[in-house]
Amino acid sequence: MKTLFIGILSLFYITLPAQNPLLIPPVLSGDSIQLTLQYGTHSFFSGVSSSTMGVNGDILGPTLVLKKGDFVNMFVDNQLNDTTTIHWHGMHVAPENDGGPHTTIAPGSLWNPSFTVMDKAATYWYHPHLHTKTNEHVSKGIAGLIIVKDDEEAALDLPRSYGVDDFPLVVQTKDFDANKEIIVHSNNDDIVMVNATVNPYLDVPAQVVRFRILNGSSQRSFNFGLSNDLPFYQIASDGGLLSQSLQMTRLLLAPGERAEILVDFGAMNGQSIYLKSYASELPNGVYGAANPGMMSGMTLNGYDPNPLNGSDFDILQLNITAATGDPVGSIPGNLVPVTPIDENTAVITRQLTFSPERMGPNQLNGNFLINSVFFDMDVINYEIPLDNTEIWELRNQSAISHPFHIHDVQFYILSRDGVAPALNERGRKDVVMVAPQETVRFIAKFEDFANPDVPYMYHCHLLTHEDKGMMGQFLVTRPLSVESVADEGILIYPNPGSGSFIVKAEGRNRFTGLEVIDQSGKIVRSFAEFDESGRIHITGLTPGLYIIRIHASGKYIHKKLIVI
């Protein structure tokens, strides 16, 4: 009788949703990092395997732990039957190392970027970035975290034992078909997972614990919170530690955004709580809210019914266990100095307006544009002089929120609709959510890297929007650096002069372009191909110092010109 009863009981338990231990991606570090992009299979659901893509494994990728100042060699081996790219999201690297859509890795080939880690301690990530296929490659599983460490961070009393009191949390939603294969480009992403684990639990020690959270979803925003509104403390935004830890009970992260938080489990040994998304509190117009459009009645194909939309759901069960030997016992208050860029140093304000391809209540099913154009691989949208400090003003004239992301820089948000941002948005950022009808201004400096050929990207980090062309690209070029003036046997005369000048070169027949650039970095005259004996007419220029940029054999030669 007793045996029979246990038999029935265990049968009953089998039908309950399994609680799965949270997968913790392995760590890779050192000055030489091997990343193999490969196909695999993964059991999101017990007893069923799904086709996936992963890095050095079946799903997701290792967590790269890098130290600021170190030089790293990345060896990215593409064993997929598809071209892709790998982008180091949030990191400040040269355009040719950035892994944008122009830097493709053909099937069977190896990409070997190398760079010095210049970023501040924070949590970054890597993911594919092939134009039109970013969502496919990310959804199928290619994504990993990058933890950057530095001396400032090391000086603080923070949890930093990976997998012990410092946990990576890659939070995603996906949709699956009847055979449990991942559906790419779905608006019915109803399966929540952390580190590719569905229904996960994690044992955490009864002490201060650090979570590095990435919203790695294609579209969904999460409004993170802990059960019973247990407070937590945000210590880092996308690209750096905050100046102080901030106590909060809710944290909204849009796709692409990261945050590091601390939770004090010190008095909770034996208890069990949940990390949740309080999506019932998301405003309309955010993917993940009850209504993905700003106005009620706006629909998005496949979005309903989905039990996650607009309701609160569990993300990760946290079981509090005994403390470790040497725990961090309290939440630090002050963290690191954060010095936003002075608004007065900006030399230009660029306006970027987001709009739907077609207006009206059905707009969510269409595509979105930036300044009325779609992304074109062959069109450079901006050319930014190296060392420019710029304000970018993002205006959302569509009915859905777009998380805007820019490569190369970390920026500081100046305002949202004219008002200073919340405290947790006053640190370094590389993604910012822009709500319908909102205007967000940020400031950034484009320093260190210039390349006349390889652009950086900016785009909406809703991967469906990005893939459909809500993206643009910019070159950072080197017009202003008087120090970089190379002689190369080129003469400009008369100099000082006015009206016109002559460019003379020894051993060269022709150039492919020439620009006259003023001290603000503005191109004031531009000439296409010209003969070496050509006279360049510059009547009408205000007297002063100019840089002459000459295109020669695929590079730029800079000369000073004084106009009198």
CA–CA dist 502, 495 (Å, integer): 9
Q: Which residues of 143-182 are buried (b: 16+ CB within 10 A; e: fewer)?
A: bbbbbbbbeebeebebbbebeebbbbbbbbbbbbeeeeeb
**Interaction of residue 131 with ligand C2O, rule CB under 6 A:** no
Supply 154's token pair: 């090391």
> Among residues 185 and 551, whose Cβ is nearest to ligand C2O?
185
Give the residue, chosen from 120, 129, 468, 559, that forms a contact with ligand C2O under the rule CB under 6 A.
Answer: 129
Q: Indicate the residue among 53 and 331 with the shorter CB distance to ligand C2O.
A: 53
86 vs 289 by CB, closer to ligand C2O: 86
Minimum distance of Cu ion from residue 238's CB (angstroms):
10
In the list Cu ion, ligand C2O, none, the entry touching 256 (Cβ below 5 to 8 angstroms by class) is ligand C2O
Which CB sits closer to Cu ion, 91 or 335?
A: 91
The distance of closest approach from Cβ of residue 79 to ligand C2O in the complex, given in angstroms and rounded to an integer, is: 22
Q: Which stretch binds ligand C2O (CB under 6 A): 166-174, 175-183, 288-296, 457-465?
A: 457-465
CB within 8 Å of 344: residues ≥ 6 apart: none
- Pick the stretch among 19-27, 190-198, 418-426, 454-462 that binds ligand C2O (CB under 6 A): 454-462
Q: Quick check: 558 binds ligand C2O (CB under 6 A)? A: no
CA angle at residue 125 from 345 to 46, to 5 degrees?
155
506: DSSP letter = T
* Nearest distance, CB of residue 67 and ligand C2O, angstroms: 22
Q: How far is Cα 104 from Cα 383, in angstroms, rounded to an integer?
A: 22
Judging by DSSP bridges, how do beta strands 166-176 and 402-406 pair with one another? unpaired
Tokens of 468: 């459909």
- Give the nearest distance from C-beta 20 to ligand C2O in angstroms: 27
Picked from ligand C2O, Cu ion, none, the partner binding residue 402 (CB below 5 to 8 A depending on kind) is: Cu ion
Minimal distance, residue 343 CB to Cu ion, in Å: 24
Is 212 exposed, middle or buried, given 0-12, 13-18 or 19+ CB atoms closer than 10 A?
Answer: buried
Query: What is the number of the residue whose Cβ is closest to Cu ion?
Result: 460
Out of Cu ion, ligand C2O, none, what residue 561 binds, judged by CB under 5 to 8 A for its kind, is none
Region of 62-70, 326-334, 415-423, 455-463 interacting with ligand C2O (CB under 6 A): 455-463
CA distance 426 to 415: 10
Q: How far apart are CA 438 and CA 283, in angstroms?
A: 13
* Phi, psi angles (nearest 5°) of residue 435: -75, 160
457 binds ligand C2O (CB under 6 A): yes
- C-alpha distances (whole Å) from 235 to each of 124, 238, 244, 342, 473 are 14, 10, 7, 23, 31
Of the CA atoms within 13 Å of residue 414, those in its CB half-sphere come to: 18
Residue closer to Cu ion, measured from CB, 61 or 159: 61
**Which of 89, 133 has the CB closer to ligand C2O?**
89
CB 106 within 8 A of CB 83: yes
Cα separation of the two ends of the chain? 106
Residue with tokens 């071209």: 83
* 133: contact with ligand C2O by CB under 6 A: no
Does 405 engage in binding with ligand C2O (CB under 6 A)?
Answer: yes
Using Cβ positions, the residue closest to ligand C2O within the complex turns out to be: 89
- Taking the least distance from each CB to Cu ion, the nearer of 273 and 369 is 369
Name which of 472 and 479 has its Cβ closer to ligand C2O: 472
Euclidean distance between CA atoms 355 and 363, whole angstroms: 9
**Is the CB of 405 or the CB of 465 nearer to ligand C2O?**
405
89 near ligand C2O (CB under 6 A): yes
Q: Which does 429 bind (CB under 5 to 8 A by kind): Cu ion, ligand C2O, none?
A: none
Contact 129, 101 (CB under 8 A): yes
The CA-CA-CA angle for residues 427, 433, 436, to 5°, reads 140
* Identity of the residue, 409 or 503, whose beta carbon is nearer to Cu ion in the bound complex: 409
Q: Quick check: 472 and 457 in contact, CB under 8 A?
A: yes
- Contact positions vs Cu ion (CB under 5 A): 89, 402, 407, 460, 462, 465
Paired residues of 403 in beta bridges? 433
CA 422 – CA 426 distance, rounded (Å): 7
Give the count of residues interacting with ligand C2O (CB under 6 A): 10
Which CB atom, from 232 or from 287, has the smaller least distance to Cu ion? 287
Among 37, 56, 76, 87, binds ligand C2O (CB under 6 A): 87
Q: Exactly one of 62, 216, 256, 469 binds ligand C2O (CB under 6 A); which one?
A: 256
User: Min. distance of Cβ 256 from ligand C2O in angstroms?
Assistant: 5
As measured in angstroms, the least distance from the Cβ of 471 to ligand C2O is 8
465 binds, among Cu ion, ligand C2O, none (CB under 5 to 8 A by kind): Cu ion
Q: Is 387 exposed, middle or buried (0-12, 13-18, 19+ CB in 10 A)?
A: middle
Nearer to ligand C2O, 149 or 405 (CB): 405
Residue type, 459: H
Indicate the residue type of 116. Answer: T
**Per-residue tokens: 183:** 């559906």
Q: Which of ligand C2O, Cu ion, none lies near 92, with the C-beta cut-off 5 to 8 A by kind?
A: none
Q: Least separation, in Å, of the C-beta of 111 and ligand C2O? A: 16
In the complex, the residues that contact ligand C2O under the rule CB under 6 A are: 87, 89, 127, 129, 256, 405, 407, 457, 459, 461
